[in-house]
Structure 1
Amino acid sequence: MKQTFFSTLLDIQGWFDWLPPTIASLFILFALGAAAAWVAGFILKRGFARVPGKKRPGSFIRTSATILRHPVQLAAASVTMILAIPALEISTRIVGPLAHLLAVLIVFAVGLSLIRSARLACSLYIEQLDASGEEHEEDILGRKHLTQVRLLQRIAEILIGLLTVGAALMTFEPVRQYGLSLLASAGAASIIVGLAARSVLTNLIAGAQIAVTQPIRMGDMISFEGDWTWVEEINATFVVLRAWDKRRRIVPLSYFLDNPFENWTYNSAELTGAVYLYLDFLAPVDIIRTRLAEIVEGCREWNGKDFSVQVADSTDRVIMLRITAGARTAVRSWDLRCAIREQIIVWIRENCPEAFPQTRFSAHDSSPENQPSPYRMQARLPDNPGGMFSL
């Protein structure tokens, strides 16, 4: 078969006797590579990419054929050209560099195929998580797996990229010769490289720790510098935080291992929010408490479990009512608190406006001889509680 292949190439080269041998050989070589790439792409696109079936095997084959088409075409063209070089009349000055270039292209094609395969495997796993039917922000286990998969994907891509570049460089003879001297000075070199890339290595190691320990996950809501933000993306060295007003903050991964922070969805997405009302001492607390219970029960954001109304504090002018209510997520907790605050204020204004804070003052003679004794004040207060005070 090999002899047949070589003889066919020689016959084709004979068609171009009117050209210099090297130019004719290079033209045939690149045409042969293009034909091999077209055949490989045709097989993947028309064959594997059209495998019937909506279930996992058929879908996996179609997706793999689509994603790996270009790396396979590059590898097929490079291998075919390397096999055809001995049968063609190419100058010896060109054969060596050309074969070396094709070998490097094969290495990069293999590395690109591995990177795309890792992305495909992670995407298929994430699709299984999304198909569970649970709300993304409430599915703690799903977000945990999503974070691990994303971080492992980033680390795998970096390692495959480094190995691919290293394998390509090792095809160069000078690099292999320098390898011995690099190994001899590995101690000093490792210190220099470690100091130069300290921040990068720190964040890469932090990414591996976060993938294992899970202090943050994709979709978590955390309090960052006074803002409530969502973990939108976790890369190999940094995290993208999305604030409520669509601002994005880029934070190094090492920050979440070196600094304390609040994760509002660590074990559960449920959150208990508090609403504070400042009312007058004349406010009918029991009636307001009953109305608050009706308001909370009518809100769809309430989780049906956590609710309380307490007089949490008082000053010389007002009392403070603390209303707590639980919701299934932090966003729903915010909406629930806004609804409670809005509805109870409207109800108080329409039914008992005297419950709103009031300002009181007294007008009397401040001379000592006209000051009533404490006993006379106490005696007069039950008869006319408002006698000394007016609005």
Structure 2
Amino acid sequence: MENLLRLLIVLGGSAAVALAAVRAADLLARHADARHPETPLWGLLRRCRTPLYVVLFTALLGWTFRATGWAPLEDHAALVEHVLVLCLIGGGAWLAVRVAAAVVESSYARYAVRSRDAARLRRVRTQVTLIMRVVSVAVGVLAAAVALVTFPAFRTVGTSLLASAGIIGIVAGVAAQSTLGNLFAGFQIAFGDMVRLGDTVVVDGEWGVVDEVTLTFLTVRTWDERRVTLPVSYFTSRPFENWSRGGAEMTGTVFVACDHSVPVALMREHLREFLATCPTWDGRAWDLAVTDTSPTCVTVRALVTAKDADDLWTTRCAVREELVGWLSREHPGALPRVMTTQLDDAPRP
């Protein structure tokens, strides 16, 4: 009974001390966040409370569990210490990733406040996302390696593993050639400024916005809310359209088939008046001209501009609807006609 009471005291005391330390650290971070609102670092560091508690609680148990005098723990002390070491390694890796994420996110937030260039912000955001993924993978691999070293069997065969590392590396490189290609392509996209989060792109005839970028794949959200997932090597080996490079402003056209009698001057004047009231037209440029003719109709092209692809699509649709409606109301004779002739049923001599 006494040993069981000691065990409860050790567990409860370790949990209470760890909780008190985490609570104190959280209060300090909250106080620093209130005194320094210009940086979100301290507020982001408060996300580290759970992994910090795991690390502290595990470390305290490693120091105090022998004081319980409980026979099952003493008989398996080596196993208990090994489990606690593994938990400490995992908690430390978790804490390291959270701290790194807080520092990186804080740096990006401070940069975003100072910068007014949307394209540069998307570029930095893409790089930050990929950097955090690399850091997470690196910390995870390092933690797994350290955890494996704690097993005596792995330490014993360490020499043979190192001796065969070259052969294994060659085999793995050949087997994972596609994966490694995507990995290096991900770095090229992140730091080569080819594609950024939020860019409007056209790939395989699909128009959409870059929604997610990882080290191996890229997701494009299409206009109808579908997600098209492509390997990042696609963007380094094939041509694609990036409508956000060099600025998001775009120019679009609307083609209307009309009769030869269409009043082009009046149509041009009506387009100018309509664009003055169109909220998605950015006011940079507009035009209306006859660009083609055929024996049955003429093709009138309206040219409009907008600040981005979404507004351009809306403007083009609005202009098309307005011109067709205006012709139907004011000049119905200017709409295209289908010429037909009546067959003569009378027999020919």
- TM-score interval, smaller chain: 0.7 to 0.9
Structure 1: give runs of 5+ residues left out of the alignment: 1-15, 366-391
Instruction: Choose which of 242, 246, 251 in structure 2 pairs with 1:267.
Output: 246
Counterparts of 1:85 and 1:295, CA distance in 2? 80
2:300, 2:57 → 1: CA distance? Answer: 76
> Offset of 1:58 from its aligned partner?
7.8
Matched, 1:157 2:136: yes
Report Cα offsets for 1:297-334 as digits up to 9, x if no partner. Answer: 33222222222222221122111111111100101001
One-letter amino acid of the counterpart of residue 95, structure 1: A
Amino acid at match of 1:234: V
The residue that corresponds to 1:115 in the other structure is 97
CA shift digits 1:223-253 (9 cap, x unpaired): 1232311111112322221111111122221
Residue 40 in 1 paired to residue 1 in 2? no
CA distance in structure 2 between the partners assigned to 1:76 and 1:41 by the alignment? 8
1:28 offset after TM fit, Å?
4.8
Q: How much does 1:340 deviate?
A: 0.9
Q: Number of paired residues?
A: 342
The residue correspondences of 1:315-326 to structure 2 (distance < 5 A) are: 315-326=294-305
What is the CA distance between 1:272 and its match in structure 2? 0.6
CA RMSD in angstroms, aligned pairs only = 2.7
Aligned mates of 1:300, 1:185 — CA distance in 2? 67
Indicate conservation of the 8 Å contact 1:274/1:337, yes or no: yes
Q: Is the 8 A contact 2:39 2:106 kept in 1?
A: no
Q: Secondary structure at the match of 2:282?
A: strand
Q: Where does residue 36 of structure 2 map in the other structure?
A: 55
Larger Rg: 1
Structure 2: any 5+ residue segments left out of the alignment? 345-349
CA 96–356 in structure 1, closer or farther in 2 if over 3 Å, else same: same
Q: Aligned match of 1:183 in 154, 162, 167? A: 162
Q: TM-score, normalised by structure 2?
A: 0.88
Match of 2:227 among 248, 255, 274: 248
Aligned-partner Cα distance in 2 for 1:29–1:364? 105
When structure 1 is superposed on structure 2, of 196-205 and 151-160 the one drifting more is 196-205
Contact 1:50 1:62 in 2 (8 A): no
Residues 7 and 65 in structure 2, CA contact (< 8 A), matched pair in contact too: no
Does residue 206 of structure 2 align to residue 206 of structure 1?
no
Q: Report if the CA contact (8 A) 1:51-1:58 is conserved.
A: no
TM-aligned CA distance change 1:273 to 1:132, over 3 Å: farther
TM-score, reference length from structure 1: 0.79
SS in 1 for 2:256: strand
Q: Is the 8 A contact 1:40 1:72 kept in 2?
A: no
2:289 maps to which of 283, 300, 310: 310
For residues 1-391 of structure 1, the aligned pairs below 5 Å read 17=2, 19=3, 26-51=7-32, 53=34, 55-56=36-37, 59-64=40-45, 66-85=46-65, 87=67, 89=69, 93-128=75-110, 131=113, 139-360=118-339
* Residue 121 of structure 1: how far off its partner (Å): 2.4
- CA–CA distance in 1 between the matches of 2:38 and 2:336? 69
CA distance in 1, matches of 2:295, 2:265: 21
Instruction: Give the partner amino acid of 1:123.
Output: E
Tell me the distance in 1 between the aligned counterparts of 2:314 and 2:38.
Answer: 44
Q: Helix, strand or coil: the match of 2:88?
A: helix
Q: 1:364 to 1:235 in 2, by over 3 A?
A: closer
Seen in structure 2, the aligned counterparts of structure 1 residues 94 and 362 have a Cα distance that, compared at 3 Å, is closer
Separation of aligned partners in 1, 2:28 and 2:108: 27
